[in-house]
Copies of this chain bind each other. A is one copy, B any other.
Amino acid sequence: MTKFDKLNSEELEQEIQNILNKYNEKDSIYKLSEAYDKGADSKIIEKELKRLLTPYKEGSIGLAQINPIAGDIEYNAKKVVKYINHAQNIGLDVVVFPELVLMGYPIEDTIDRHPIIVEENIKWLKEIAKITTSTTAMVGFVEPRKYDNLTGKKYYNAVAILSDGKIQGIVRKSLLPTYSEFNDYRYIEPSPVIGTQPAETLENFDSDKIQKSTKTSLINGKKYGISICEDCWNNKEFFNDTTLYSIDPIDELSKENPDVFLNCSASPTRAKKEQLKHNMLSFIAKRYSTPIVYVNQVGAIDNSSFDGSSRVFDKNGKLLARAKSFKEQFLIVNPHKNLGKIYPLTKGLEKTLTEAKVYTLEYEPDLERTYKTIIQGIKDYFKKTGFKRAVLGLSGGLDSTVCAVLLADALGAENVFGISMPSKITSKESKSDAEQLANNLKIHFTEASIKNMVEVTNNCLTSLFSEVEKKWDGRYKQSFTMDNIQARSRAMFLWGISNEFGSCLPIATSDKSELYMGYATINGDMSGGFAPIADVPKTKLFALARWMNSNREDKNAIPEAIILKKPGAELAIDPKTGKPLVAEDALMPYEFLDEVIWRIENKKEHYFDMLHSKFLYEQKNEVSQEQKAEWLDKFYRRMSTALYKWSILPPSVIVDSKSINKYDYKQPITSSRINYKGLPVEEIRNKIKEFI
């Protein structure tokens, strides 16, 4: 791989010549553009690109897929300025940025508590407008609405159209996603009109005096129908007449026969979403015989990981171009002149695009996406909060193992410290597996026994408990107190290292299956600065471990023994076997458990639906109806008491189509008495009679 950022002018000229000799015109454009992305920020490349792009100029578009920091306007503006300048230098007609690019999406309630950042984004926008020349830039920002006599929320989610040193027009978002991780309607007013409004309406848009101008923007002879994210997700035909909003901005825009649709987006990746997005955008382009250009944000903001993969479909609905996933990129296209390049999706995902929407729990096609989603989530959380290093407990079990691999890949092995913290229950194998893993990953490793600490804590608590028992009844005959002390002692060590060494965060290693069951210790394994695998169920973790062993550059970093052993917290001895308790015995088979989660999240099934469906687990194992009912009852019971734990879970990456992340799913903790089985009408009738 050529280190473009290391070349001097002469070497770069030579490298460019090599590219031009080796590749045709189109391929050369992409090779040079990749060189630019790799840091060859040079007039030389831009001059050459401009020459190559001359035949494609009319209708050419740069998709600036960037990774913003929420609220850091200067940081975001710097990227915007860089790409506007680049687009101008290579002579593009248009450069498009993701939704709300100056602010970073989502900005949430921050814009209300810190109104200064709204003023600031307007100041920056106006100054950025001044540096534009003939290339038109579409720049997302938060627009304050008139403050007096205001009906509705205080802001619009808007895109400014900039060129020739001025703001030329404003597009405002009409459809406001307010579900899952999206909270647009908290501060944003839906725009009552679609498409481009005149520049004079900036901060002064009066919906009672709507300008009867055209809705499309004319730029260098082409008509652009511009919309923002959710605005293009409401096609009644595609969604079989089941849509969230009553208007369809794309359909409205189509009435002016635009030459191209542009959509500025910030759309996070989730399981199955790629299939939906790909097919929907293709459908729209074909339906209106109009190419669509979709520019997506990349990077993670807290729990949401945006995958980029900006793309263009031609007027036949055929994919013409697609940017890289999980990487910043400047992608040049011309949908009118068939100029585009399709960078690959994460492996496995491509084959799901044409898949019918059938019942499937198959993890394989989603593993690379899962891996990259989490890697980006870790990387950006650390970078954007100013942390560099992670410390975690290595138990020799699956959860901490997978976390260690992900952290090593996201932060660099030298920035990860794995600590084996054996107790008297910890087996020799657990310790050696942990050490082997650390050696394979080349992360730092040490061992620190918690034995003394647990012993002292036990002593302290034993006398404390007998004091408490003098006043209070209700002491459990069998409790998890001593088990939890082990987990909490370990967390004490990890937080200690985080307090003592700069830029270091401890990691919570809880997985999704165990969080659903509340099988995680408060202030113990579920405590940390970040929880990388909180949205990955156990059976998927096994698949991910195997996938990483096959697909990482260093093969088989995870010792096979770790993948083969049955998960267990090694906190207690099973009296029946005399060996550490196995989690599946305390809970239920993970394969069954994960299918319950999957059915609830993806199929909205409830208790009796599941009781009467045949699980994959049942195809392989004999399960009586009594056993199944017992597991389902245990599931619902444990889930309802786990709600509190979900509420204090550290930030984590949302991966699945649904999650228990508190910014994605909200359920009152005090709603734990839901009757998940419901009641027959006859019984309701009898109860009402009794109530009178």
Contacts and interface: CB of A to CB of B under 8 A. Distances in A.
Interface of A: 69-75, 77-78, 81-82, 85, 104, 106-110, 112-117, 119-120, 123-124, 127-128, 130-131, 147-153, 178-179, 183, 185-187, 240-246, 300-302, 380-381, 384-386, 389, 391, 417, 419, 444, 446, 448-450, 452-453, 456-457, 459-461, 463-465, 467-468, 471-472, 474-476, 479-481, 484-485, 488-489, 491-493, 495-497, 499-504, 522-523, 527, 529, 600-601, 604, 606-607, 644, 647-651, 658, 662-663, 665-676, 678-679, 681, 684-685, 687-688, 691-692
A485 B476 contact: no
Given A123-B681, A152-B246, 20 more contacts: A72-B675, A73-B675, A85-B691, A116-B678, A117-B674, A127-B681, A127-B685, A131-B688, A151-B246, A301-B670, A419-B464, A444-B471, A446-B467, A453-B460, A465-B501, A488-B492, A495-B522, A529-B644, A644-B651, A648-B649
A475 B501 contact: yes
8 contacts: A69-B671, A110-B666, A116-B606, A128-B688, A302-B668, A461-B493, A481-B499, A644-B651
Find the residue from A74, A529, A674 having the highest chain B CB count within 10 A: A674
Contacts of A674: 71-72, 110, 114, 117
A687 B128 CA distance: 10
Nearest to A466: B446
B448 A464 contact: yes
Contact of A109 (B77, B81, B666): B666
A246 B208 CA distance: 11
Contacts of A681: 123, 127
Contact of A500 (B242, B476, B493): B476
A670 B103 CA distance: 12
Find the residue from A147, A444, A601 having the highest chain B CB count within 10 A: A444
Contacts of A380: 670
Given A246-B152, A668-B106, A668-B107, A679 B74 contact: yes
Contacts of A504: 472, 474
B493 A460 contact: yes
Nearest to A604: B115
Contacts of A461: 493, 496, 500
A116 B246 contact: no
Contacts of A468: 391, 417, 444, 446, 497, 500-501
A152 B244 contact: yes
A613 to B, nearest CB: 15
Contacts of A649: 648
Given A127-B681, A681-B127, A496 B481 contact: yes
A153 B244 CA distance: 6
Given A460-B448, A679-B123, A692-B131, A668 B479 contact: no
Given A120-B678, A488-B495, A499-B480, A448 B475 contact: no
A468 B678 CA distance: 55
Given A448-B460, A485-B496, A492-B523, A692 B81 contact: yes
A75 B471 CA distance: 32
Nearest to A497: B468
